[in-house]
Structure 1
Amino acid sequence: MRQDTVGIKRCEHQLAKARREWTRMVYATKRVDVCDHAINFATTAWHLTDWLWHYHGSHLKKLLGLKDIKEFYILLFDACPYLKTCDVIANAWKHGDLRVKEYRPSVKTIMSFDPEITEDEDIISILDRLDSAKWKVIIEIDGESIPASTHFADVLNFWHGFFHANDIYKREGIIFR
């Protein structure tokens, strides 16, 4: 019997939650909401690995020829390198710090807003615009900057394809017509 997970009972529910968090992050207007939804997305997308292994591990072992969860992580990271960023964000947020591991990229998250600040702009005009600014998260991976909305969309697309290719939707009773 599954523990109480506030209505999230299947892996597909977890993926749907990640989609909702991505949408909320993209359309959020307040800095704090953008931050919350980015963290929630990364945490949810990363923990899909654990849910899939827990509920479909024997199926995935057989189908993909895996021995253990470590091999599963390696397979996922090779197929979707951006999933590593979700691991970094989720675990850094949870633990307040992060142990360096050879597979983890150097990740930095940056809050930014549109329109950008110009060098000649005074602080009063900047502060006046902050309330109406469109905040966004930029993810810097090994020095390369990528908007989180794009980065996380790639993770969502990966998970959707993985669920289809490995019969996860079918195993959870989701039939696409």
Structure 2
Amino acid sequence: MARNWHATQKGSWNEVYAGKVLASLENDVFPTLGSTAIADIRAPAGDAALNFAMSAWHLHDWLWADLSEDSNGVDDLSAALDGGIKTKADFIRAIYRRCPAVRVCRVIATAGKHVKVDTFPEPSLRTRMEHKHDHRRRWQIDLKGVSTPASTVFKEAFRFWEDLLSQLAIIEDPGFQRERRGW
């Protein structure tokens, strides 16, 4: 399939670029995927975790954009987060106070996109892969000397957003969903 795609695209590319794309496929993609069917290709867990962190962080942007257009939206948001929210910066500070896990997601999302965090860095935050005796790996997040599995941090961020969106009547009561997930 990839070779067919390349054949259909190379007419619109110069010869050098077409060669680089094919070489990249042969060196980087084919050895990894081999003859794996397209339906069986799955993103590595690290990609899913990064995607979650980006979504958990950027949810504040999407929510602010929607609520700031509603005449009562910011007031409702402020009430749900114990008051004092007038600006997006106030909203971010309220998120940080309520849910440090979302702050961790911000750092992961920013570093995942920009390689490092220059604006509002978190020097006490480190991520690492812990290798277990059963040959499994677990992503750990170390914040201010406390080590926590990344899955725990992500669940905390998820619960924060689930609760807030429920308070704002954007989603239904999250309790039922948690029972189904066993959280």
Are 1:60 and 1:66, in contact at CA under 8 Å, matched by a contact in 2? Answer: no
2:75 to 62, 65, 74: 62
TM-score (norm 2): 0.60
What CA RMSD, in Å, does the superposition of the two structures yield over aligned residues?
2.1
User: Which of these two proteins has the greater Rg computed from alpha carbons?
Assistant: 2
Within the alignment, does 1:79 sit opposite 2:98 as a pair? yes
Q: Report the Cα distance in structure 1 between the residues aligned to 2:98 and 2:86, rounded to whole angstroms.
A: 18
What percentage of residue pairs aligned between the two structures are identical?
Answer: 33
**1:94: which partner in 2?**
113
Matched residue SS, 1:72: helix
Task: Check the 8 A contact 1:88/1:98 in 2, yes or no.
Answer: yes
The answer to whether the aligner puts 1:47 opposite 2:52 as a matched pair is: no
How far, CA to CA, are the matches of 2:136 and 2:44 in structure 1? 11
Task: Determine which of 46, 49, 69 is the counterpart of 1:35.
Answer: 46
Q: Specify the SS of the correspondent of 1:145.
A: strand
TM-score (norm 1): 0.62
Distance 1:60 1:105, change over 3 A: farther
Structure 1, residues 76-115: CA drift from partner, whole Å, max 9, x if none? 111111111001000111111111527x462111012322
Letter in structure 2 aligned against 1:55? D
Matched residue type, 1:165: Q
Cα separation, 2, equivalents of 1:56 and 1:67: 11
Letter in 2 for 1:62: D
Q: Secondary structure at the match of 2:85?
A: coil
Following the alignment from structure 2 to structure 1, what is the Cα–Cα distance between the partners of residues 56 and 159? 11
Hey, what does 1:19 align to over in structure 2? none
The corresponding residue for 2:17 is none
The structure in which a higher percent of residues are helix is: 2
Contact 1:38/1:137, CA 8 A, preserved across alignment: no
Match of 1:151 among 153, 163, 168: 153
Tell me how far apart the structure 1 counterparts of residues 141 and 160 of structure 2 sit (CA, whole Å): 18
Match of 2:143 among 123, 141, 144: 141
User: Structure 1 residue aligned with 2:131, among 91, 97, 113?
Assistant: 113
Unaligned runs of 5+ in 2: 1-42, 79-83, 177-183
- What amino acid is aligned across from residue 152 of structure 2 in structure 1? T
- Aligned length in residues: 123
Cα distance, 1:158 vs. partner?
A: 1.0
Mean CA deviation greater in 155-164 or 54-63: 54-63
- Residue identity in the other structure for 2:107: V
**C-alpha distance in structure 1 between counterparts of 2:73 and 2:114, whole Å:** 29
